[in-house]
Every structure is written in C-alpha cells, then in structure tokens.
Structure 1
Amino acid sequence: MQHGVDLESYYDLRLLSEVSVSPDGERVAFTAQESDPAADEHRTGLYVAPVDGSRDPHRLTRASSASSPTWGPDGDTLAFLAAREEDLDRKRGRVDDGGDESAADGNGGGDRNGGGNGAGDDGDAEPKPQVWAFDLALGGDARQLTAFEHGVDGVDLAPDGERLVVAARDPTEEEAEYVDQREDGGPIEVTRLQHKRDGAGWLDDVTTYLFVGDLDAEAADAAAFRRLDDAAGAGSAEPLAGLQPAWGPTDRVAFTTCVDENPDDSGAYDVCTIAPDGAERRVVTDGSLRCASPTWSPDGERLAFDGSNYDNWYEPNEAYVARDEAGADFESVSAELDRTLARAGAPRWLDQDTIVAPIADEAWTRLAVCPLDGEPRRAFARQGRDRTVAAFDLAGDAVALGLTAADQPPDVYAVPGAELRENDAGGPTKRLSALNDEWLDEHGAALPDCEVVACETGEVRGSDAPASQSGASVSDDGEEIEAVVYYPADFDPDGDDTAPAVCAIHGGPMSYDAPGFRFDVTYWTSKGYVVAKPNYRGSTSYGRAFSEALKGSRGELESEDVIAAMEHLVGEGVADPDRLFCTGFSYGGITTAHVVTRTDMFAAAAPEHGIYDFYSNFGTDDNHNWHQWEFGMPWENEALYRDISSITRVDEIDTPLLITAGEQDWRCPPTQAEQLYVSVRKRGVDAKLVIYPDEHHNIGTPQRATHRIEELTEWFETHDPGVDGEANEVRD
C-alpha cells in the first residue's frame, strides 16, 4: 500500500468556498477554508485578485473567519460578515465605576437590539457576526459597519454606495428575557411547530427583520438602522435560509420569506420586494415554490431566482424570472434542460435578457445559459469532463469559477463573458489562485486518477428477500447508472491486479457526485483503495424521471444500484470481491444500512449520521414536513414507515458496522445510531458506536474531520482479510 498522503496533511489544505465578482468585472473576491490546529477550528480567509491575472491574490483577513463577500457599486468597497473582536474605534473612551461608557464610544443604545457586537460587558462572550468593510482604494483594516446584539445574517449594499441592508434578529423585551434565560442554561420553551433546526438548535419566537442604515462606521449601532416591519422572516426554512436581501438598481430590496398563514407547516418560500423606507411590500411569487437567491436584472425591472417544488423535492430546481410586481407571472427559463440547479452558485444575469446558472448535469456541475426568449443550452465546453464547477459568480464581462478535479483542489478561474455568449468562442481561461500548490508539490504524485463508469442495474427480485452473497440480481430490463470511480495513482484499471474498494455513498438523496478533490477519497486512494461513488436512482443530476424514481420509497433502488456498481468493479477485475467496504453520510448512512440488510458482499460497513427507524424518528428531527409530504403521517401509514426503515430487517445484518452520530444532530438524531448499534450488538454482530459531542449534522472541527477518516480506515483495515493482524492499526 502507498503512503503518499497522511492525515496531518489535511491541516495544510486551503479549500475554496465562495467567489464574488466586482460590478465592473475587474476583480474577484473569494473565501477559502483552512485549519487552525492550535484552536482546532476551521477558519475562512478573504482574498481579492484582479480578473486579468496581472498579480497574485491579496489576502485581506487572517485572524478571523469571513463569509458572504459583497461588493459596493464602486468596486472598491468590499463588505463581508465576520465574528471579530469589536472595532477598536468603537471602544474609545473610559468606563466609569458605574459602568457607563463615555460618549466617545458611539453606542447609541435605546434599541431592542442594543449596541455592541454581542459581547456586551462579558469579555468572555463570543462575538456575533457583524458586517465589516474594506476600502480597497485607501487600504487599511476593515471597518465595522453594524453592531447588532444578536449579530447579522445576510447583507447587501445599495447602488448609491452609501447604504446597506442587513438581516438581524430583533426580540421584544419578553423574548429578550427568554433568550437571556436560555443563554444562562434555563429551560427550553417552544410553541412553534418547527421546534428545532439542525445547526440553529432549539428555535424561539424571535423574528428576524431587514434593517437599512448608512455605511458610516460611526453609525454602526442598531439604533441607527431603520427596521422594515414588513420585511420579516417566517417559515420552517428561514432559520437556515435567511432573508437573502438583494438591493436592486431601482432602489428596491428583494428578499425571501414565507407569507403563508401557518408558515411552520408550509414549505413555501416567496420572493418579495420592498422600498428601503419600508413602504410598498410586494409579494412577487404566489406560494407555489420554495424560492431562493433572488438577483436583479441590470435595469431592475425583473428578478431571477432559484425555485423548487416543496411538495416534491425530487423535481429539478429551476431558474425562474419574474417582474417586480405583486402576484407577478413567473416562468422557468431552464426547464427544457431537465436538470436541477447546482449549489455552486445562484442564477446570475449575463445581460438584460440572459440568465446563467450552474446545473447538475449527470456526473458534472457545469454552466447553463438560459435566454429569456429562447432555448437554454449548456455552456463552457472547454471545462472538459475531468473538471467540475465548485463555485460561480459573474458581473460585468467576467465570470469567476471555482474549478476542481480529482487531482486538483478547487482554484479560482476567470472566463470572459463572451465564452458564454458565443459558446466557447471567448479568450483563454485564466487561473487566478494557487491555493494549494505547495501541498500539491508534496503530495501531487499520490493523487488519484478518476473516471465516470456506467453499469446496469435492475429491480430487486422479491422486496422481502435480501440479496445473496454475491449481491442483488440484475433483471433483463436493467437501467444504466453511473459511478464516479477514483483509482490509486499507480493502479491500472485495465491490468491484472485487483484492489480493495470503498463504496462511498452520497447524501441527499437529492444530490449527486461529480469528479472533484475530496481529502477522504485522496487519503484512501493513497493507501491503495479504489473509491466508488455511485449516482444511484434518486440522484438529481440525471433529470426528473431518474430522481423521482425514488419518490415514496427507501432502500430497494439505492441498495440495488450500490450493489450493481460494486459488482461491476468486481466483474471488470478492478475490485477484490473479498475486500469491499461501504460507507455513507446522512442519506448515505441510511442507504448503507439498507445495503447490509440485502447483501453480505461487504467485509465491513460504516453508516454515518443516518436514520434507521423512520417511524420512531418522526418529530425528533427537523424534517417532519418532508416526511409528511413523501410518506404521510406515521399513524396513518405505519406499515410504510416500518417498511422504509432498515431497523425492521436488522435480523438480516451480518456485516460488521461502525455507526457514527453527532450528539446534537437534529437532522438525523443520535438516538437513531443508538437503536441500530444496540440492535446489531444484541444479534452478536461486531459493531462500534462513535458519538461526536456537541456536534450537529456535520463533522465540524479539523480534529474531528481527521478522526472520522482515521476511524473509518481502521474499521476497514481491521476487517480486511487482505491485511494481516499486525497491520490492523491505522498507518499514516
């Protein structure tokens, strides 16, 4: 086995997060995540680079994380969100014995949000996210532009360059008392139907509003901002989606919220607009969609946005356009592609009559050009089939892309707008960043090769019967699926040697896998594993029919597709049939558990952060609206809830299981992992339970990210018949 990539090298990576092009198309700001080993934290640095590639990127932030880079109209003001220590300029003046601060502090007070940045008088409290801004023409450190007690979530700058709009929580006095009580460890009291959200925790009744204020740093206190009472957050999606404010050229602000009478029991999320003085709110959409990422046309008369059917999550998200009118007619400009919008970026206006959006297109993320009057088409053909789009933005005549490949962590590239207008007729693509060149110099030789392979699958014969030792049978009317397969650097898939293989199943299920850099995959291939990531039925990048095949079911189709992908690799002489392993996170964990109830082909498996008993899970997670839509109520459809739960077939599991969960995971609660663990242990199956304390539905810190990979690898090696007993410790 190879030893080209060790776990400690994770700490040396910088991974691209967001890109944002200045209005004149001259510069691109981007953020990149890196690790702080001493603090065991991920932090996100903010960079800026000229689009013409005339100089290397300049790093703007170092000491704290930055997100949501937002340009002012002059191209010199760059705002962002950060939870930094309070601006020193706001701390001027002495504090007397009575605790009253000097007037020099500029803290107006008198507002329900209060002043300060959330730290207040308690020096140990963590600062809240606020808006900061760099003046790139004058230079110097960023200025603090807001000081809301509960922080800011969402920002945009006005076209005049003098004002900003932010989203911030604004509790009443009674609500503020409850919030203070909760922060002091008091009891949780909830009256909302959407009582929790993963990552947001237990929800309260505090409303988030839009506020408008000046960019003057001396007026940063919340009291200096105007609250727009008719621009308020509501609905089950709001705690994570936010209000997403966007300030348009005609001096109106677009935002998203739920206007349903019972918002917590609705999946609707509408696009609204409002004047910056709080007048004339318009509800543009009609409650039939879950809308996101509104963006204004150059003339400010229309809005483009991401829209999806909240009653059928398997339908593609599409790019819609509507006029800024109450109850406007709106239409999809991407529907003919039969592809869902990707999460790499929001729809953007190429010109007055054309939208560009990233789409999930089979095993790739690519760009689509969508004319308002014409047929949508795929663009940027020179992306090729070995690279996928990880981030996207455009402004002026410049397109910024984050591009990644199996052997290339994502970097920022610039593409001329003509490339999209004329379909591959523009100038050369410019690489603007080199975030990991030193890392690649050391480890590049060990990075994997990658290809997308096709295999045939069919329906499982007999829904109650588990697959045989060799896997599920494939019927004559099988359907083709694809898998993204990563090979060790020195492995020849057409040669005579076979390799141990890990099947890594994506979550969602409304998601997909595309060729790209992933540290866990790179680590495993450097240790000699082939890694397969099947795009099973239900994956969203192959059109509605392929995705919707999974609707109303769990377990059978995904399991069959996973088994078929691994049998294909075995049949091709790539994978050693005695050394197969399976893992998946979230819905991938759900599928992993279903797979091992249907086949014993895997030497070991690791369902991570999944749900295994949908009946007992109902109401304990934050997705009850989804489960109600797809399966009905559990007391009305008990048999269905039991049938889609792998726990009901736990007597068929003989595969050793490593089962993981986050202690505060409200998407797939940890009790689900406990149920599966105890159940298989009662049957005498070798199993291990790993719970990450204080963790949500993710693996948050660098130490836990590397621990996860270490645990999985050790589990596979411990149960690998090709590894002798003395080599069963994890080898870096």
Structure 2
Amino acid sequence: NPVVSPDGASVAFLRKEKEEDKPQVHAMRLDGGEAVRLTDLPLGAAAPRWMPDGRSLLFPVPLLAGFGSPEATRAELAARKERKVQARVTEDRVYRYWDRWLADGGIHHMFRVEADGTGLTDLTPGWTRPLDLEDPSSAFDVAPDGEIAFHSLAADPPYQEIRVAVFTLSPGGEPQPIWADGPPRQSRPRYSPDGGTIAFGFAVDYPAFYADRVRLCLHDRASGERTVLTADWDRSCESWEWLPDGRGLAFAAEDDARRNLFTIPAAGGTPEPAARGGWLTDPTPLDDGSVWCLHQSLSEPADVAIAAAGEVTRITAFNEALLGEIEMGRVEEVRFPGAGGDEVQMFLVYPPGFDAGRQWPLLHEIHGGPHGVSGDLWHYRWNAQAFAAPGYVVALVNFHGSTSWGNDFARCIMGAWGDLPTDDVEAATDHLVGRGFIDPARMAIAGGSYGGYLVAWLIGQTARYAAAICHAGVTDLLGQWATDLTHGRRYSFGGLPWDGLEDIRRWSPTDHTAGMTTPTLVIHGERDYRVVVTQGLELYGILQDRGVESRLVYYPDEAHWILKPQNSLHWYGEFLGWLGRHLKRR
C-alpha cells in the first residue's frame, strides 16, 4: 500500500520483515536511502495515508477488544500464550468472520505518527466498533483541513446487527455520524479536493439483500445536505474517487459481466462510460482526464492500464514471458433462453486446439454468491483457462441471481435458491449439446460456496452429469445458522427454523438425496466460518452411506478459499484428477 507524501519526496508503505511478522508502517525517501520503520505494533497496522501537511501519517491499528492500547494488547497476547484454557466465550451475534474470530483480530483504532516515527497517538481511544470487516485500508480518508472520515459498525458491542455508518473525526474531537438515521450500509468516504464535500456510498436493503446496489451520495460538510447521484441508476457503484478538479467522480461498476469505468458530474447527471471491456478496477483519475486502473480478462491477468478517450491501454506486462509459453483457449460470449424464457448470458472458454467437428467434454464452472458473477476476469483460484487446458469446454453461466444486470435480476431467486438457477444451467447444457460439439456422456458440474450448493442441488435432481465437484458448498440450509453472518438468511432461504422450516427444507440439498448417484468430489476447509465444514462432511457422509462414488479433500489449515501455494497446487491436482477420471473418452 505505497503512498507518496504531498511534497513527492517520500513514500510510506507496509512491510513485514519476516513472513510471521505483523505489517508495520515504513517510510523511505524517494531520492535514495533505506526504509525506516515507524511503528512496532503488536497486531501491526493497516494501509497508511499522509496527513495534508506531510509531517505525519494516519493509519488504522487493530487492538484487542478490552485492551485498548498497544501496550495492553501486547501484554494480553503474551498472557494468552501462557494460559492453559483456550476457550472462547461470546454473547455477540457477530463473533466470527470468514476465517477468524473477531475477538482475535481486534478493533481498529485510528492512529497518527510523525514522519520520523515519534508521537504515536491513538485518535479514537475507547473505540469499540470494527472499521471494516473486510479491509480497513479503504475505509477512511483525510480532508485538507485534517478532518478524518471513516466507516465503521454503527453500534457498540454486543454486536447483534451489522449496520455500517460513516463517521467524521475533527482534530481533538469525538467521532460523529454524518447520517445517524440513514441507510444500514454506508461506506468508503472520500473528501473532494477542496474538502467541502464527502462522497460515500450506501445500500438500502442490507443485510436482508446483501447485493443491494450501492448508490453514490454527496454530503456537504457546511450545510449537512445530501445529494444522491445515482438514485435512479440500476447498477452498483464501487471504488469511487474524485476527479482532480473536483467537478465529478470516477468509479467502477459491473455491467453485463464486465466491470467498467464511469464518470459522473458532482452537480448531478447520468453516469457516462469512461472505458468498457474486461474487468477494470482501482480507478485513479489524473489531471489530463485519463484514469489509471487495473485491467484483466478471462485471457489476461491484471496489469496496470490507462483508460483515455474510451480506450484501455495496458502499460505493464509482468507475466508476458510466462504467458508467452502458454496457449490460451478462445473465449466466446453466448446468450440463450434460460428460466422463463429470459435471456441468460454465459462465457465459454474453449480448450486449445478446439475443433468444432468433434465432441468434447463439458465442465460447468458455477460461480458463488449466489449474488456474484462469472465475469470477464482472471481468477487465480478458479481459473477457467486452467480448467479448459486439459481438453474441456468450460461454461460460465450467469444464472438468475447473478449481479451486473440490476437489482431485480439479482434479487429474483431469494427464498428459492435452487429454482431459476437450475433451469438456467440445464438450459445452457441443452443449448451446448444442441450445438453438436459437446459429448452428452462426458459432462461435469463444479462450483464453490453457492456454486457448491447448486452442484449439491443438481445431483439430487438429475443424473445427466458424469461427475460433480462441490467445494465449500452449502448442502444443508438449516445448518447455515452456524455461519458467521446469519442476518438475511430468512430471506435467502425462505423462512426461519421456527417459522417456515418447510420452506427452508424445500430448497435444501440434503433433504433431497434419494436421487443422488453422480460421482462427487467434496472439498472443504476446516477454518471456513462462512460455509461451516459440517456442510461438506454431511454431504460426503450421505454419499458414502448411499454407496455413491465420492472423495473427500479436507484442508485443516484453510478456510473458504484455498490460499496457501502448495495447497493450491494440491487442490488443482485433485480437481483436474477427478475430472480426468470421470470424463475420459469411453
């Protein structure tokens, strides 16, 4: 997270000297010299920003709940190592998140340190609300006059709800919400170049519908008035930044399975496309009207690019030599009639050397969410090119419930997860078989998270697929009340355990196992708190009891995603090995 000082003389960044170390803030002069460590914090720090005068730095610092200083946190961490009892006790509804216990990770406070490493100061002493459960590095900004804005959980513990609000902090003051009774998910405050306005985003129907579109809003610091810039625009804004002249903002938004760049005037108007195609992220507007960004696609990993005059030019090529040794498969975009006759989009990735005159095995790569998208992007963990390379046609169907086609399309599967998406995947299979180059005896389905759910659901509904792979899949809807976030489950699943149990079971895969015969690979990580490991173990146990050919891959040191390099290689070996066993030509 490198940031250059206002005078352009120095750069600040996070650095770990050893893999097991916590990230600390460092600074280095750009005209030469060694990096100087500015902090020694027990749980490290998050991304720094320079204060406007360039004499100090601002950054979030995690401190253990109830131990609200670096010294107290350090002492408690040392004491915990000596304790014989490792029990965790909570009365919070939100107590875990993805792969960690929140009590272990601490509460981020805003700290400032002088550029020479002296004067470390906690600007939010006594703060008890997590800044951002995902990544605090984008959760805050600094105004030219030194005021700080950040988003954080809106309530003190015990954490029963997950409302998020934007707060401002004047020098020497206390954090104050800018919209105390506002929408439940406010995020990413950004000061205008003159400091008079804060741009931020908000979603309304959250957490009941977690994919509710994010609207872009302006808050006038002097009057307190708010202006919603995208009230009537049916796409979700992300990663907004002010144009250098302060007359508008640039931001990214999904549309039609791409992530494009847009600009919008601060005075109001319709968002205008700045660049389209592939997957464009992290916009940084420049004075000349161009926007620096990252660009990737299904055939290209991310590189730095410049968007100007509607065109995207990649200016780095970090993997060019390696990619030059690999033949990529051709990518085709297809639209076909899905559930209810609605148009549904999918990408096809063909194997190298594809010949439409012969028949090929098919692999459905089903995305998670369900409110996500199989976009035109390079995915390192579920790489469609790697799946196509052994000789498979890979289909990435953006079924009903997917994002980038507006709120209604995403919302329409609420309470019936297995309904419309099943029809869409089956219609895609029929469409591809009808084109003549797919061997109907050699077809497979694979997916993770919600994609794993749809795999588990499909194998209970049809025996047409020769193999299935269920990674971190939701298999028992009732069991998902053990997840880290239970908010909104009643809407996603169609009921509550005490009010609507029949509706939950209607769409729960493990309540529909009598027809399961498909050979299935089940993969799960022990530290997955979003889709708890019992979900995978339950499906595997049922398949084994039924005598269905099945295989369990269990990672004790992984969570929802397989992240460690050697584990990732092992995962790909198991994944492709299962396909090779069941999709080989007979």
Q: Normalization by structure 2: what TM-score?
A: 0.91
2:216 to 319, 329, 340: 319
Once residues 175 and 75 of structure 1 are traced to their aligned partners in structure 2, the CA distance between those partners, rounded to angstroms, is 35
Contact 1:314 1:551 in 2 (8 A): no
2:526 to 638, 663, 675: 663
Once residues 199 and 143 of structure 1 are traced to their aligned partners in structure 2, the CA distance between those partners, rounded to angstroms, is 32
Superposition deviation, residue 661 in structure 1: 0.5
Structure 1: 5+ residue stretches without partners: 1-67, 86-124, 459-476, 724-732
Structure 1 residues 205 and 674, CA gap change in structure 2 (3 angstroms)? closer
Once residues 640 and 506 of structure 1 are traced to their aligned partners in structure 2, the CA distance between those partners, rounded to angstroms, is 24
Structure 2 residue 14 is matched with structure 1 residue 84: no
Structure 2 equivalent of residue 410 of structure 1: 302
Structure 2 equivalent of residue 188 of structure 1: 87
Structure 2 equivalent of residue 500 of structure 1: 361
Structure 2 equivalent of residue 400 of structure 1: 292
Structure 2 equivalent of residue 281 of structure 1: 175
1:608-648 CA-to-partner distances (Å, cap 9, x unmatched) read 01221121231x22121232554554223322222231110
Once residues 349 and 280 of structure 2 are traced to their aligned partners in structure 1, the CA distance between those partners, rounded to angstroms, is 18
Contact 1:336 1:375 in 2 (8 A): no
Say which is worse superposed, 400-409 or 663-672, in terms of deviation. Answer: 400-409
Once residues 436 and 622 of structure 1 are traced to their aligned partners in structure 2, the CA distance between those partners, rounded to angstroms, is 37
Structure 1 residues 681 and 82, CA gap change in structure 2 (3 angstroms)? same
Q: Write the mapping of 1:679-698 to structure 2, written as runs, cut at 5 A.
A: 679-698=542-561
Superposition deviation, residue 350 in structure 1: 5.3
Letter in 1 for 2:201: D
Contact 1:481 1:535 in 2 (8 A): yes
Secondary structure at 2:123 match in 1: strand
Contact 1:369 1:378 in 2 (8 A): yes
Structure 2: 5+ residue stretches without partners: none
Secondary structure at 2:583 match in 1: coil
Say which is worse superposed, 309-318 or 555-564, in terms of deviation. Answer: 309-318
Superposition deviation, residue 372 in structure 1: 2.6
Structure 1 residues 329 and 722, CA gap change in structure 2 (3 angstroms)? farther
Letter in 1 for 2:284: D
Structure 1 residues 652 and 203, CA gap change in structure 2 (3 angstroms)? farther
Structure 2 equivalent of residue 678 of structure 1: 541
Structure 1 residues 353 and 230, CA gap change in structure 2 (3 angstroms)? farther
Secondary structure at 2:487 match in 1: helix
Give the number of aligned pairs: 571
Structure 2 equivalent of residue 341 of structure 1: 237
Structure 2 residue 2 is matched with structure 1 residue 74: no
Once residues 205 and 292 of structure 1 are traced to their aligned partners in structure 2, the CA distance between those partners, rounded to angstroms, is 21
Structure 1 equivalent of residue 347 of structure 2: 484
RMSD: 2.5
Structure 1 residues 69 and 569, CA gap change in structure 2 (3 angstroms)? farther
Structure 2 equivalent of residue 627 of structure 1: 489
2:148 to 235, 253, 258: 253
1:228 to 123, 127, 149: 123
2:251 to 351, 357, 362: 357
Say which is worse superposed, 199-208 or 157-166, in terms of deviation. Answer: 199-208
Contact 2:241 2:285 in 1 (8 A): no
1:335-370 CA-to-partner distances (Å, cap 9, x unmatched) read 43311235xx34444542311111000121101212
1:468-514 CA-to-partner distances (Å, cap 9, x unmatched) read xxxxxxxxx4111101111123225xx33221111101111221122
Structure 2 equivalent of residue 455 of structure 1: 336
Structure 2 equivalent of residue 296 of structure 1: 191
Once residues 210 and 314 of structure 1 are traced to their aligned partners in structure 2, the CA distance between those partners, rounded to angstroms, is 29
Structure 1 equivalent of residue 22 of structure 2: 128
Structure 1 equivalent of residue 98 of structure 2: 198
1:178-227 CA-to-partner distances (Å, cap 9, x unmatched) read 5444445642332232121123335259543111221113x2xxxx3221
Once residues 416 and 244 of structure 2 are traced to their aligned partners in structure 1, the CA distance between those partners, rounded to angstroms, is 40
Q: Normalization by structure 1: what TM-score?
A: 0.73
Letter in 1 for 2:393: V
Contact 2:140 2:148 in 1 (8 A): yes
Structure 2 equivalent of residue 147 of structure 1: 40
Superposition deviation, residue 407 in structure 1: 2.6
Q: Write the mapping of 1:324-723 to structure 2, written as runs, cut at 5 A.
A: 324=221, 328-342=224-238, 345-349=239-243, 351-381=245-275, 383-384=276-277, 387-397=278-288, 398-416=290-308, 419=309, 424=310, 429-443=312-326, 446-458=327-339, 477-492=340-355, 495-518=356-379, 520-618=383-481, 620-628=482-490, 630=492, 631=494, 633-722=496-585
Contact 1:156 1:245 in 2 (8 A): no
The one of the two structures with greater contact order (alpha-carbon pairs below 8 A, sep at least 6) is 1
Letter in 2 for 1:508: G
Superposition deviation, residue 675 in structure 1: 0.3
Q: Write the mapping of 1:22-61 to structure 2, written as runs, cut at 5 A.
A: none
Structure 1 residues 719 and 564, CA gap change in structure 2 (3 angstroms)? same
Once residues 454 and 312 of structure 2 are traced to their aligned partners in structure 1, the CA distance between those partners, rounded to angstroms, is 39
Once residues 20 and 75 of structure 2 are traced to their aligned partners in structure 1, the CA distance between those partners, rounded to angstroms, is 19
